[in-house]
Amino acid sequence: MGFFLDGIWHDTWHDTGKSKGRFEREATRFHNWITADGAPGPTGEGGFPAEPGRYHLYVSLACPWAHRTLIFRKLKKLEDLISVSVVSPMMFERGWTFNRAEGSTGDHLYDASTLGEIYLKTNPKYSGRVTVPVLWDKKRGTIVNNESSEIIRMFNTGFNALTGDTTDYYPDALRDEIDTINKRIYETVNNGVYRCGFATTQEAYEEAFAQLFETLDVLEGRLSTQRYLCGKTVTEADWRLFPTLIRFDAVYVGHFKCNLRRIDDYPNLSNYTRDLYQWPGIAETVDIDQYKRHYYGSHKTINPTGIVPVGPALEFMRPHDRGRFG
């Protein structure tokens, strides 16, 4: 959980001393965009055209932010165009590593031992946290982007001419609604579970806890009248929520003390989670074992013994009722 300061690694847990015990996520640092013709995207610089085999994705199977990018790589048929390396689920004093003995694929590009080495290849004086996902440009030898919300939008449209897949998970007609839903879900659910788990005061924890379950209740109600968050069509908003829901009962209920209710206790949210899990190819992006190993085994500040629970029993292939909405 450390960070670089001017290229020097510091093994330091999150500092909540200045925020009254509240966990505040550090902003990502790399915001270039891959576009069809290499023109600049909404942020960053240009020069990153969509090309087969040019880009590489560094992910953790345990990380919900990285999970989003694997989902869109699958949905948009990018697996033959964008290669992937998976870090170990265990994260200790050196941060994310490529320890094959712990479940990593190894670094397919440079045989690096840590993900931090990849960041330093971009900037030897880099300052900031080392996070996944990382989208890497093999040709220029640099990080394109390490912000998951931006990477999935690149994947959504940037490679359409190469794949022939024009499915749009961020359609113009729904963008305002998607953005509004995304904002609340990010603040109170996606990041909200971390705000519960990484809080260091009772007040900060209870504040995040209340907001988390208030939003889950709202989503439960929303899904009582429609199949997906924005109606009949699955969108980016659903795939941004799904990685948190699929981890919730296995990890966040116990490890992050998000224990008012399980997702399995919500009729609509639980059926909705199974609906998305059973979407073609999505189950292949899910690894409950790595989720539990990472959170329970790596967060020694929260779980000093490192003991990983055996349960719970989860059956995401159970039938769901979402087809009733058409």
Q: Looking at the annotation, which residues are catalytic?
A: 63, 194
Amino acid identity, position 138? K
The string over 69-87, giving b where at least 16 C-beta atoms fall within 10 Å of a residue's C-beta and e elsewhere, is: bbbbbbbbbbeebbebbbb
Give dist(CA 76, CA 250) in Å, integer.
28
Q: Which residue has the tokens 């600049």?
A: 40
Give dist(CA 235, CA 122) in Å, integer.
33
Give dist(CA 34, CA 42) in Å, integer.
10
User: Alpha helix (H) ranges present in the chain?
Assistant: 64-75, 115-122, 148-157, 160-163, 175-185, 192-197, 202-222, 236-247, 253-255, 267-277, 288-298
